[in-house]
């Protein structure tokens, strides 16, 4: 019997209620997708198409939706023993400012059931991976924005998640910092090999990172409209690789073409 998909979404729709007589806002319309174990998938689409809403559903932050969503065969929100470990990285680092970087990571380890004897080893390992080994005892507000985001990535990988959900984690950073963090993310992903669902509106970022790109139409009622397989792009990828740039240019053209066609049909 085949193992279940790492992430499975079947005809998921989400409508935010309106106020008074105003109609509600349909953020997602009948979204269906799967992500295989160890696969890196990006969701690409314009602002307001429902990308973040879908990640909120998969992370369990929003349980008011229609359809079915599961992580490794477990319904989203299932916290029974044996449920898969899921980590999230958001646009903002969301570190607790009153705790040091180390304490932030140890808090996540404790919440995920790791015994205290494992905390230091696991924390030191991920801090080394993101280059923050000398900043373990710093507080978040003593760090730059890029360093804080590296700390949030370290916190996510410390629990060795089976599924990692990332919501535009580099969008607020300057491009040089974002480039370094994308490269670091791929290095860490190759070590831990979780399934990743990464939300972005940056076509080059999606092309550089992913095995597959799922495109969404603009909202309201954002839905998946196309899929691009990037397994033909060899890994590890570099920013100097002309093939990556050419593929990203094709992704942009295809996105414009697909969204334009759909708008004409509406």
Going residue by residue through the chain, which has 266 residues, state the pLDDT in tens, using 9 for 90 and above: 456 799 999 999 998 887 765 667 788 888 999 999 999 999 998 888 888 999 999 998 899 999 999 999 988 977 665 678 899 999 889 999 999 999 999 999 999 999 999 999 999 999 998 999 999 999 999 999 999 999 999 999 999 999 999 999 998 888 888 898 899 899 989 988 999 999 998 999 999 999 999 998 877 778 888 999 998 899 999 999 999 999 999 999 988 887 765 444 43
Radius of gyration of the CA atoms of the chain, in A = 19
Same domain, 111 and 201: no
Name the domain count of the chain. Answer: 2
Q: 101 is in which domain, residue-wise?
A: 94-161
Contact 47, 201 (CB under 8 A): yes
Residue at token pair 């429902």: 50
Give me the pLDDT at residue 82, please.
Answer: 61
Q: Would you say residue 213 lies in a domain? A: yes
Same domain, 67 and 55: yes
Same domain, 239 and 210: yes
Same domain, 78 and 173: yes
Q: Would you say residue 2 lies in a domain? A: no
- The residues, any chain, with a CB within 8 Å of residue 60's CB and separated by 6 or more, are 76, 77, 86
Same domain, 168 and 211: yes
Q: What is the CATH number of the domain that holds 207?
A: 3.40.50.300
**CA angle centred on 64, ends 80 and 21, rounded to 5°:** 165
Q: Would you say residue 126 lies in a domain? A: yes
Residue at token pair 């080059």: 204
Same domain, 246 and 192: yes
Pairing status of strand 212-216 against strand 224-229:
antiparallel
Same domain, 61 and 152: no
Same domain, 32 and 98: no
The neighbouring-strand residues paired with 163 are 86, 195
Give me the pLDDT at residue 49, please.
Answer: 82
Largest Cα–Cα distance in the chain? 60
Q: Would you say residue 114 lies in a domain? A: yes
**Among residues 146, 161, 176, which one ends one of the domains?**
161
Same domain, 171 and 135: no
Hey, what are 46's tokens?
């314009």
Cα distance between residue 123 and residue 1, in whole Å: 37
Q: Would you say residue 1 lies in a domain? A: no
Start-to-end C-alpha separation, the chain: 41
Q: Would you say residue 89 lies in a domain? A: no
Q: Would you say residue 220 lies in a domain? A: yes
Same domain, 187 and 66: yes
């Amino acid at each position: 019997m085949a193992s279940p998909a790492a992430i499975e979404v079947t005809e998921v729709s989400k409508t935010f209620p309106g106020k008074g007589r105003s109609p509600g806002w349909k953020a997602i319309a009948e979204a269906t997708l799967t992500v295989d174990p160890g696969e890196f998938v990006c969701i690409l689409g314009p602002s307001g198409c429902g990308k973040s809403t879908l990640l909120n559903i998969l992370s369990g932050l929003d349980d008011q939706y229609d359809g079915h969503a599961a992580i490794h065969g477990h319904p989203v929100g299932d916290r029974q023993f044996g449920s898969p470990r899921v980590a999230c990285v958001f646009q903002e680092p969301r570190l607790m400012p009153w705790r040091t970087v180390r304490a932030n990571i140890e808090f996540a380890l404790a919440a995920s059931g790791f015994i205290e004897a494992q905390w230091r080893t696991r924390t030191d390992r991920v801090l080394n991976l993101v280059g923050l080994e000398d900043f373990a005892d710093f507080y978040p507000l003593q760090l730059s924005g890029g360093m804080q985001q590296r700390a949030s990535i370290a916190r996510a990988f410390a629990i060795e998640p089976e599924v990692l959900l990332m919501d535009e984690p580099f969008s607020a950073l300057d491009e040089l910092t974002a480039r370094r963090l994308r490269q670091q993310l791929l290095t860490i992903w190759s070590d831990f090999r979780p399934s990743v669902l990464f939300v972005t509106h940056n076509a080059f970022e999606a092309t550089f990172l992913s095995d597959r790109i799922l495109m969404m139409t603009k909202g309201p009622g954002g839905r998946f409209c196309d899929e691009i397989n990037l397994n033909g792009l060899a890994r590890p990828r570099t920013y100097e690789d002309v093939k990556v740039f050419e593929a990203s240019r094709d992704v942009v053209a295809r996105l414009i073409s697909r969204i334009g066609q759909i708008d004409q049909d509406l």
